[in-house]
Structure 1
């Protein structure tokens, strides 16, 4: 009797094992969960239109082999200066961050943030992606699997009490800045460049700790800055750069089919979407300012050319300073960057 019981148990176990082996590999593969972080509110377009739809696409196309959790600014993993470090250390698997913070992390990339290099996000993003693809960014992304690089549209000066109609109007103001290239521009004009994460900007403006912010219409709308701002100078002066990077060990430990899926849904696949994304995100912030009756100051192309000439000494000085940060030929990279932006702009 014992023999029959054991035999039945054995046969049942064998049948179960055979059933598992007969299952499609995708069903018995272990689920890979990606921890994805960024430094903005969970309602921001970076999450709503980019990161979450991408992660959901991975989950769908992998038949559930890939799952995810997104950690925004309201989480312990949402600190702006830590995004790249968290990925490198394996604390998170994927992160979206601002290339200019902290300073010195991506000095080659910062060149695209200099005044009047980028006016449209699609041109700036394609130029930056080509620079990376052709190994012209000095190996500063060697610690990562790079999923995407991009810029936003040319950004504005937004202020509380003083309208900016000339660059000289910046003198004496405390302006929140997104990175070292913009810091250099502000300081050249006599302003104080203040670094702070988006989560602190509203309160700083409200309390008078800063007088304005250099940023996009998008961020102004996303964190409700129009509640405290009064003036917006649409000069399209600079464009900040962003990265989306992945831990290379996470990527390499994936099965080949999942690595292929990652590759097919990032990088070049994002490029055609960047311009429309920024058009949508910026439109909301601008319309809110208009609805509130705030003054939007449009700077003409002729005036922008004057400003660019005024800032030439600052640009030269900034490029020279990059040599101490490991950029061997900053002037050459600057010219190449401008050339690529113009190519894609046209």
Structure 2
């Protein structure tokens, strides 16, 4: 049976529309994004989730995201860097110190007494990315580098006020520099992912941990802690990176949207964010009747003096690992932190 011309035209139009719909559907890109924190943490609620929503809206839905947080197959903190390098995930947010040795230059910001705030440390890292730190991010598009507010020493059953109180305590550590700091102060550093700290404190395998205040609440740690020393002597750094091949496969419009909400537009937010994220964890400890102590200035000076050999040793270790200009990078970090603090 022959089709009438108008029916033929209608059928052709329907076929074209169906094909167009198929092409449009195929043009959509779903990117896998992994991080290691629970979905109640500010990193997820204030940073990762809104960032993905902004990029998706900017692209008109061309780019969508599937997020893998803590507790999922791809949410392992020790595998964030290798997963994004291999393209198992397209974007990852992780700790530069886990596993050890992946970002030795960046991790110098973790050295004790280098910065007093997330904002200052983050500024130093981001301003040094194009030159001093670029070597560590080959094959990756860096969307942000940042650091947390000065860390707190949290303990389950022993109050820590001075160096001697740390003697022999098994303290969870997040990075090589912090591990060496704890060792020089007399503690026994234990490398553990954040998600395993609760159980090990509960079982008595750990005596304490170092964290800023924010993960104490998001990981429920106030339930197994009692004492908190606001020492303010270290920070820890993070990366937010994208596989370069994944980025290059996107349309120019989608690439522009990712750029719009990353880098210089994103990095300055971390200081205020971290100030906000720290409040609930600290207040929860107060409400639970915990004892919070601030390191005295006299004791702080003792720690600073005791840690001088540690800082020199750590720089030598980084140099021995192939970073010949470790001391120059460290001095530049000091200068960048001072530059930020002088202008704020």
Equivalent residue runs for 1:14-53 within 5 Å: 14-16=12-14, 30-53=27-50
Mean Cα deviation higher: 156-165 or 233-242? 156-165
> In structure 2, which of residues 197, 203, 211 is the aligned counterpart of residue 215 of structure 1?
211
Structure 1 match to 2:65:
68
> What is residue 105 of structure 2 aligned with on the other side?
108
Unaligned residue ranges in structure 1 (runs of 5+): none
Per-residue CA distance 1:178-229 (angstroms, 9 max, x = gap): 0100011111122111111111101100111010001111111111111111
3-state SS of the aligned residue for 1:140? helix
* Structure 1 CA distance for aligned equivalents of residues 317 and 134 of structure 2: 16
Structure-2 residue corresponding to 1:11? 9
Aligned partner (choices 88, 91, 101) of residue 85 of structure 2 = 88
Aligned-residue Cα RMSD (Å) equals: 1.9
Structure 2: runs of 5 or more not aligned: none
- TM-score, normalised via structure 1 length: 0.94
Kindly state the Cα deviation for residue 339 of structure 1 after the two structures are TM-superposed: 0.8
Match of 1:152 in 2: 148
Q: Counterparts of 1:129-168 in structure 2 under 5 Å?
A: 129-133=126-130, 135-137=131-133, 139-168=135-164
Q: Secondary structure at the match of 1:321?
A: helix
Partner of 1:298: 294
The alpha carbon displacement at 1:20 in A equals 7.8
- The one-character-per-residue Cα deviations of 1:52-87 (angstroms, maximum 9, x if unpaired) are 000011111211111111111111111111001111
Deviation (angstroms), 1:29:
6.7
Following the alignment from structure 1 to structure 2, what is the Cα–Cα distance between the partners of residues 128 and 137?
Answer: 8
Q: Is the 8 A contact 2:184 2:306 kept in 1?
A: no
- After superposition, the C-alpha distances for 1:77-98 in whole angstroms (9 at most, x for unaligned) are 1111100111111111111101
The answer to whether the aligner puts 1:340 opposite 2:336 as a matched pair is yes
Residue of 175, 180, 183 corresponding to 1:184: 180
Contact 1:29 1:65 in 2 (8 A): no
Alignment: residue pair count = 341
Instruction: Give secondary structure in 2 for the equivalent of 1:123.
Output: helix
Is the Cα–Cα contact under 8 Å of residues 217 and 280 in structure 2 kept in the other structure?
yes
Distance in 2 (CA, whole Å) between partners of 1:124 and 1:91 is: 30
Cα contact 1:36–1:93 (8 A) shared by 2: yes
What is the rounded CA distance, in whole Å, between the counterparts of 1:131 and 1:301 in structure 2? 31
